[in-house]
Amino acid sequence: MRIKKLLGAFAVVLALTVGATGCGARGGAANPSASADNSGALVGISMPTQTSERWIADGKNVADSLTKLGYKTDVQFANDDIPTQVSQIENMLTKGAKALIIAAIDGTTLTDVLAKAKEQNVKVIAYDRLINGTPNVDYYTTFDNYTVGVQQATSLLTGLGLVDANGKKVDGKGPFNVELFAGSPDDNNANFFWTGAMDTLKPYMDAGTLKVPSGQTKFEQAAILRWQAPVAQKRMEDILTAAYSSGTKLNGVLSPYDGLSIGIISALTSTGGYAKGSLPIVTGQDAEKGSVKSIIAGEQYSTIFKDTRQLGSQAVKMVDALLKGQEPETNDTKTYNNKVKVVPAYLLKSVIITKDNYKKELIDSGYYTDATSSRNVAGLWPGMRPGHNPAGGPCSRRRPSPDQPVGIDDEHTYSSNARNHQDLPGRKSPPGRHPGREPRRSACHLRRKRRRKIHPHESSLRRLPAQLLRRRDPLRKRAVQLLQHH
């Protein structure tokens, strides 16, 4: 009897011990086993395109930050092609990715592939663009896009003299003729930009202070699919021909993106006949180098600076928290409804950039670099990097190291103007007899090209006519064969 009592007491103690251990594993904000299982995990990073400098920079910044935390990364750019992006994400899942950071081309087309991600318990972060129509997106990080639209409209009003630098309304001016542009209808952010801008401009339009001679005041009329600069330029040209051919003056253009702004300004100077010193007020977004230089030169009036370093950092924090079994920080749990669920989000702040404050916001913050040079534009020049000749000069410029900030005037990094009219980074020459061609940028660049090593049998090719030196010329192969026999 005594032995039975002792065994019973031991069983009770053992049960309580096991129960306490189980409760400890479920409780708390963090799960230690999650951190152990996911250390060194693969994170897939899906960016929409390489034709915009900001997405190239975003992909690199996010990957570098994750690598520093010990994660592996797979960065892919979809070249604005939806099937390509879907295929790339599927490949990331096949490789065993534990988390995905996705800047969607079209936020409505990823439902099926994200269902596969859910089956594999993969965490999904929507990056800058909300992913719609699926419950399988965990968090969203972006800027306050409604406020971005308000800022664009406010900068237009400031440029027209309807509000002062502090945003206070100024009476007694107008009416002004303006035209309206919107972003891509398949980009969820475009609707926020438009709504914020129109909520700001509508009172002035209702009062007759602002007029839209084209009559195109609806989002569907103003939207530019895929944010394409040539489409924006063509639309601006058509509006100028139809509504301004009688001599009516255009005073301002609401543009939601720097790439579109470049196309719009091109139409204004060609079809519209506006001189660069008397252009209408043109807004923008993203503080791309081409537009910043345009602002300095007095062409584009403003842009919206969204510090994508902060955006990338926030996405990395979210992924790191999720893979450690923790809950990421958010500051908006009501706004972003993707038609299936409200996606918890973290919103960042943006800044209006004009000629008056570009140096403080872009240079002093380290986003772009600045150095003194007589050849630069208003003091802007790419920062001096290791290997530069202190005396300066075109031959002293080198391709920047990955950890250096990008110079506004640096053609050896990611020079760009419009979203689909931007130069890609120069390709590195592959080994062998056919080096990759790079754009001819300067006499110094050509001298470097002439010094390149080539196949011994091709040494006489330097004396061939230029047309035979083209990489894909059908006569090249025969010319090489003849030289080898002589």
The domain tally of the chain equals 3
* Residue 295 within any structural domain of the chain: yes
Whether 158 and 230 share a structural domain:
yes
Q: How far apart are CA 157 and CA 364, in angstroms?
A: 27
* Residue 328 within any structural domain of the chain: yes
Q: Can you give the pTM of this predicted structure? A: 0.69
Whether 40 and 154 share a structural domain:
no
Among 277, 305, 333, the domain boundary falls at: 305
Mean pLDDT of the 401-417 span: 43
* Residue 271 within any structural domain of the chain: yes
Q: Does 386 have pLDDT greater than 50?
A: no
Predicted local distance difference test score (pLDDT) of residue 354: 97
* Residue 150 within any structural domain of the chain: yes
* Residue 372 within any structural domain of the chain: no
420 and 230 in contact (C-beta within 8 Å)?
yes
Whether 99 and 155 share a structural domain:
no
Whether 331 and 227 share a structural domain:
no
Range in 47-56, 82-91, 230-239, 299-308 with the lowest mean pLDDT = 47-56
Per-residue pLDDT reduced to its tens digit, 449-467: 444 444 444 444 444 444 4
Which residues on neighbouring strands pair with residue 282, listed in sequence order? 253
Whether 298 and 313 share a structural domain:
no
Predicted local distance difference test score (pLDDT) of residue 31: 47
Among 348, 363, 380, the domain boundary falls at: 348
Predicted local distance difference test score (pLDDT) of residue 114: 98
Identify which has the larger pLDDT, 425 or 216: 216
Whether 95 and 159 share a structural domain:
no
Q: Classify each residue of 402-418 as buried b or exposed e, where b means 16 or more C-beta atoms within 10 Å of its C-beta.
A: eebbbbbbbbbbbbbbb
Q: Does 160 have pLDDT greater than 70?
A: yes
Whether 149 and 129 share a structural domain:
no
Per-residue pLDDT reduced to its tens digit, 12-33: 444 444 343 343 333 334 444 3
Max CA-CA distance within the chain? 112
Q: How far apart are CA 88 and CA 192, in angstroms?
A: 28
Whether 37 and 180 share a structural domain:
no
* Residue 6 within any structural domain of the chain: no
Q: How far apart are CA 311 and CA 349, in angstroms?
A: 10
What range defines the domain where residue 481 resides? Answer: 454-485
Range in 106-115, 244-253, 288-297, 389-398 with the lowest mean pLDDT = 389-398
Q: Does 475 have pLDDT greater than 50?
A: yes
Whether 44 and 184 share a structural domain:
no
Tokens describing residue 317: 């924090």
Per-residue pLDDT reduced to its tens digit, 348-385: 999 999 999 999 999 999 999 874 323 344 444 333 23
Whether 182 and 252 share a structural domain:
yes
Report the CATH number that the domain containing residue 69 is assigned in CATH. Answer: 3.40.50.2300
322 and 314 in contact (C-beta within 8 Å)?
no
194 and 202 in contact (C-beta within 8 Å)?
no
Which residues on neighbouring strands pair with residue 177, listed in sequence order? 211
Whether 110 and 257 share a structural domain:
no
Within 8 A by CB and 6+ apart from 20, the residues are none
Whether 200 and 301 share a structural domain:
yes
